[in-house]
A and B are shown apart, each in its own frame.
Chain A
Amino acid sequence: MVIKLRNVRTAFGEKVVHESVDLSVPEGSIYGILGPSGSGKTTLLREMVMLQKFHGGDIDVLGHNLKNIRYKEAMELRRGWGVLFQYGALFSSLNLRDNIALPLVEYTDLSEAMIDEIVAFKINIVGLKPEDAYLFPSQISGGMKKKAGLARALAMDPKLLFLDEPTSGLDPISAREFDSLILKLRDLLGLTIVMVSHDLRSVYDTLDYVAIIDNKKVVYEGNLDNIFSVENKFIETFFSGTKR
């Protein structure tokens, strides 16, 4: 198991978001977190990447327990994963090449030439063109921003990738392209991918496992075939079009 959540509790003041969440993400899988809006999917993702504190239970990521994690361990962990934010979150003062090269420049002693070569490889693998490398984030489209964000997330060759709504805001064709890109990367680089998604097509095309979060806990965890084994309003409505 790459990620394991046990009894995770989250509360913002009086408002309890998660009561007791249990999840486990197997290695090499594409794992989706689904649920109605406001159910705290993104919050859960943010807790896994240490952007948000949780208020009870345990989260294990890549063998590190996030509760009371030491600074050094946390830094090591942060190099071992990649995160793609919903809108790419590229640094607007840097061009794409520098955005992707940034972790390599900061964390390694690689030479400029070597970094250029790695960046060129990452740009190629996510399907951007080499001439895009010197564009700034404000000059490119939403789809390209996501691809560039993905290339940056992959810069350090992480084993674990977090995607927050990877296909939202993309047109259907780019969304399908992005799905196949994710599948391809998983197979090529042996990644474990955790994502939050609302896109039904993308859910069916890419996910190996899903966790449905509703009413402050996980109502279903497993593969998509048995999704109707539990009675839940959200599952009914979300997957109803595909019921056989």
Chain B
Amino acid sequence: MNYSSFKTTYSDDGLSLKFKGELTLYNLMKYKKETDKIESQKEKTALINLLELSFLDSAGSIFLNNLQKELELKGYMVDIVCEDKDTLDMLELIRVHKSTTQKITKKKKRNPVEKIGEKSYKTYLGAISFMAFLGELFTHKFRYLISYKNIRFKEIAFEMNECAVKAFSIVALTSFLIGVVVAYQSAYQLKLYGANIFIVDMLGLSILRELSPLITAIVIAGRSGSAFTAQIGAMKITQELDAMQTMGFDPYRFLVVPKIVALMITMPLLIFVSDIMALLGGMLVANIDLNITVDMFLDRFNDVINIKHFIVGIIKGPFFAFLIATIAIYQGLLVKDDTQSIGLNTTKSVVESIFAVIICDAIFSIAFTNLGI
């Protein structure tokens, strides 16, 4: 590294600025602090001495150009002394480009009202475009229904394997643990009243009607929903969707509908698995903690839990599946042409589909209660 320095000296007839060594990106801020301190003076000369400058880069050159203008504004007559050809070339280059370079204008900040307005308008547009997506989806589904040939069994089977068979173990494990936790928490309360056997009623109702469908939906939204979004989003970025369209492969037929159908078929099955596993978990705790044998548990279960509770839980499956799959795919199609939006839309997809599932569950809850089911 060369030794670089900068010195200002004042004399009777003016000011001399002497640069030594290199003037580059790395050291010019140091020099700028000193040159900013120079006070304005009338009719004096300022001599910028570059004779001992060994290297000047474009940033340094811009700095010198600015310095010259500043000094002129402060009333100096500026003179640059330099003999090195490279340095002179660099100064000339900047001088020429300066005249054609326009300042980058800063984007002006917008006021909050404008921002809120824009945001609500965008939300409105988003809702409209989701409706448009649903409309397109239903017309495609309709076409599906009229012709047997349009059904892509292979894709559906593939998606069923991807999003259900492979999710089997995680759904089973989660449900089992939820069963254990719920039973354990209620066992303590029930013991206080000596109402041990009622654990069966409690578990049966809550697991079959609410817990299993919800747990399954949440696991699937986190697992398969996010995968749908990421896959379709990545395909959009790599222009695979465009390529499919130009070749006459309708993405709805090949990608969208098979996923939705596959999930709608498998969701009830997964809920069934979840029912079994959660009840097993509950049975285990009942056995250990409340001394209710498996036989007792099953007898009581048979007596008090009506089949309708099981059916209510299973019926929710296709609805939840539809919500998860459509939201995930819709978010995937919204991915823009940059890498960040995949992450953003995947997050949105999971959050929104879980939210939608819970809303849907609430509606079911109210409806079923009012119908007396």
Contacts and interface: CB of A to CB of B under 8 A. Distances in A.
Contacts of B25: 104, 107-108, 110, 156-157
**For the side of the interface on A, what is the size category?**
20 to 34
A118 B28 CA distance: 13
B337 interface: yes
A97 B59 CA distance: 16
A69 interface: no
B338 interface: yes
Contacts, number: 75
Contacts of A124: 97, 100-102
Given A114-B63, A118-B58, A121-B97, A109 B29 contact: yes
B29 A120 contact: no
Interface in B47-63: 57-59, 62-63
Given A110-B59, A157-B25, A120 B103 contact: yes
A120 B93 contact: no
A123 B336 CA distance: 25
B148 interface: no
B336 A138 contact: yes
Nearest to A130: B102
Contact of B58 (A116, A121, A130, A131): A121
Name the residue in A107, A110, A123 with the highest tally of chain B Cβ atoms < 10 Å from its Cβ: A110
Interface in A95-145: 97, 104, 107-111, 114, 116-121, 123-125, 130-131, 133-134, 136-138
A118 B62 contact: yes
Contacts of B62: 114, 117-118, 121
B25 to A, nearest CB: 5
Nearest to A103: B25
B104 A130 contact: yes
Contacts of A93: 338-340
Contacts of A116: 103-104
A34 to B, nearest CB: 28
Contact of B59 (A118, A125, A130, A137): A118
Contacts of B32: 111, 114
B62 to A, nearest CB: 6
A188 interface: yes
Given A92-B338, A110-B28, A137-B338, A120 B101 contact: yes
Nearest to B30: A109
A189 interface: yes
A190 interface: yes
Nearest to B93: A188
A119 B104 contact: yes
Nearest to B62: A117
Contacts of B97: 121, 124-125
A157 B25 CA distance: 9
Nearest to B57: A157
A133 B104 contact: yes
B10 interface: no
Contacts of B250: none
B86 interface: yes
B105 A190 contact: no
A121 B65 CA distance: 13
A162 to B, nearest CB: 19
Interface in B83-126: 86, 93-94, 97, 100-105, 107
19 contacts: A92-B338, A93-B338, A93-B340, A114-B28, A114-B29, A114-B59, A114-B62, A120-B101, A120-B103, A121-B101, A123-B104, A124-B97, A125-B97, A133-B104, A134-B104, A136-B338, A157-B57, A157-B58, A190-B86
Given A109-B29, A188-B93, 11 more contacts: A108-B29, A110-B25, A114-B59, A117-B62, A121-B101, A124-B101, A130-B101, A130-B102, A134-B107, A136-B338, A138-B336
Interface of B: 24-26, 28-29, 32, 57-59, 62-63, 66, 86, 93-94, 97, 100-105, 107, 336-340
Interface of A: 92-93, 97, 104, 107-111, 114, 116-121, 123-125, 130-131, 133-134, 136-138, 156-157, 188-190
A-B residue pairs, 6 tightest by C-beta: A92-B338, A138-B337, A157-B57, A124-B101, A130-B102, A133-B104
